[in-house]
Amino acid sequence: MVLSIEIPPQTEARLRRQAEAAGKDVREYLSELIARATAKPDLDEVLAPVRRQFAETGITDAELVDDITEAQAEYRAQSQKKPA
């Protein structure tokens, strides 16, 4: 795929310096940057298993909030009991 984009001169200069420092030409450097950026999963992909597991539990949002609030209160109570 061939793309053409407009970038500010300052950005182009930084990009050229970074590519040079990496020992690559600008096209190769940009291609690698784009490949790395797109290889990372997006948030929906990362959260999909967690969302699926949550849905399978049948717990409601309100129940989850209650559980978290209770756990937080227990943690704080335990922290206050510990000697400094």
Could you report the per-residue pLDDT of 61-78, keeping only the tens digit for each? 899 999 999 999 999 998
**pLDDT digits 0-9 by tens, 5-45:** 999 999 999 999 999 999 999 999 999 999 999 998 989 99
Domains of the chain, residue spans: 9-39, 43-81
The pTM of this model reads 0.52
Q: DSSP string covering the chain, please?
A: --------HHHHHHHHHHHHHTT--HHHHHHHHHHHHHHSPPHHHHHHHHHHHHHHHT--HHHHHHHHHHHHHHHHHHHHHS--
Per-residue confidence (pLDDT) for residue 26, from 0 to 100: 95
